[in-house]
Structure 1
C-alpha cells in the first residue's frame, strides 16, 4: 500500500497536534514532520532525502508575512502539493492561495470528515496519475471532485444546489457510515428536506447510492452511502 508523507506547518502547538491525529487516523498517510515556523519548515525540507507528498500549511506563520511561505515553497519545491489549513477567511487571501495552486483550502476549525474527504481525494488523484500516462477528459472529471469544479451537464449546478452545501453534505458522508436524510441533517446542520434534496442529487450523479432499510416495523427508510 502506498504511504503518503505529510508535513504539518502550524505555529499553534495544539492545532498541530490535532492535525497530526487526523493524519494518524487516515489509512495510507503518515506525518513526516511538524514545523512551527517558516525557517524551521524550510530547514526541514532542505534536509530531506525523500520529500513529503503533502504539506498542511497555516496562513498565519509568525516569521513571515501573509502567504510568503506558500510562494517560497512554490518557488523551491514545485512538486509539493499544499493544502491551506487556516482561520483566514478573507476572500483576498483565499484567492491568492488558489492562484498559488493549493490542492485544497480548509478553514478552521476543521471537522474530521472534511479532512478525511480531502485526504481521500488526494490519494485518489495520486493513484490515478500513477496508473496512467495519459488521461481522457471523462477520467479526469471523475477524479477531480472538488468545490471549484462540479461535473454536471453544462458545467453548472442546477438551480437549488449550492456548491458549499453540496460539499458539506458530501463531507457528512465521508465517514463511510450509511445515513438517512434525517441523520445527515443532524450531522451537517442543514434541514431534513435540504439533506434529502442534495442526497438525491448525488444519487443521480452516481456519487452516492441509496438502499432501502426495512427495519423491524413501519415504512422502509432510504439510507445513503458514498458510491
Structure 2
C-alpha cells in the first residue's frame, strides 16, 4: 500500500506546521500540500487529489463545513478529518453528517491524532482488500470498517486466549507496518521480550491480522518478519 497523501487546510501557519510534523511521525502518510484559504484548498484538491484532508472549521473567508459539503459533491473520493477549536454540538453534528471520518479538538494531542490516522489507514487497507475480494460484505466486516480495532474479535478480552493481553496485542498490532519487523524488533518497539513479541505476532498471524515471511540477511539464518495483512 502506497503512502496516503494528506492535504492540510488550516489558516494558521504555525498550527499547519505542527499538523504537518505530526503527520510525518506516522508511517504510511505523506503531506502533499498546505492550503490556508478557500481558493488554495479548492485548487489543491483539484490538482493533488489527496486521499485525506485535515480540515479546520474556522477561516476568515469561509466555514470549513461549507468546504466539506463542496468536497462531498466534487471530491467524494477524498476523506476528511476535522481538526478544529470548534466544540459546539451543532458543528460536530454537521461535520459528521457531512462525512468527516473523525473530529479532533485543538490543541491537538499527538496520541489521539495518531490513533485517528492509524484507524483511517486500517479502514483504507480493509476497504481495498474487501473490494478486491468480493462485492458484498457481512455485518462483522462493516463493524470493523466503521469502528476499527474496537470491533475486531481479536481485541476483545473475552475471546483472547490465555497469555494474550488486550493492551499488549493492540501495541503489537499498532507497531506493524509494511516495512516488515522481526519479533526482536517489535519487542524493542513495545518494550517487551522477543519471546513475548513473537507469541503475539504468531497469534495475529493465526487470526489473519498479520503475515509472516522469511527474510534472508547477509549472514546467519533466515529470520521471520511480520507485516499487517492488506
Distance in 2 between the 1:142 and 1:135 partners? 11
Tell me the equivalent position of 2:178. Answer: none
Tell me the equivalent position of 2:71. Answer: 73
Distance in 2 between the 1:66 and 1:9 partners? 9
More helix by share: 2
User: What do the CA deviations read for 1:174-208 (whole angstroms, capped 9, x no partner)?
Assistant: xxxxxxxxxxxxxxxxxxxxxxxxxxx963376xx
Distance in 1 between the 2:118 and 2:159 partners? 19
SS of equivalent residue, structure 1 residue 2: coil
Distance in 2 between the 1:5 and 1:21 partners? 14
Mapping for residues 117-132 of structure 1, pairs under 5 Å: 117-132=115-130
Task: Give the conservation status (yes or no) of the 8 Å contact 2:52–2:80.
Answer: yes
SS of equivalent residue, structure 1 residue 56: strand
1:210 paired residue among 162, 165, 171? 165
Tell me the equivalent position of 2:139. Answer: 137
Task: Give the conservation status (yes or no) of the 8 Å contact 1:39–1:63.
Answer: no
User: What do the CA deviations read for 1:3-52 (whole angstroms, capped 9, x no partner)?
Assistant: 1000000011111011101110111100010111111111122233xx10
Tell me the equivalent position of 1:100. Answer: 98
Tell me the equivalent position of 2:31. Answer: 31
Q: After TM superposition, what 4+ stretches of structure 1 lie above 3 angstroms from structure 2?
A: none
Tell me the equivalent position of 1:59. Answer: 57
**Gap runs ≥5 in structure 1:** 153-200, 212-222
Paired residues, number: 162
SS of equivalent residue, structure 2 residue 54: strand
Q: Does the C-alpha gap of structure 1 residues 126 and 92 become closer, same or farther in structure 2, counting only changes over 3 Å?
A: same
Instruction: Output the aligned Cα RMSD.
Output: 2.5
Distance in 2 between the 1:69 and 1:136 partners? 33
Q: Does the C-alpha gap of structure 1 residues 117 and 205 become closer, same or farther in structure 2, counting only changes over 3 Å?
A: farther
Q: Does the C-alpha gap of structure 1 residues 113 and 44 become closer, same or farther in structure 2, counting only changes over 3 Å?
A: same
TM-score by length of 1: 0.64
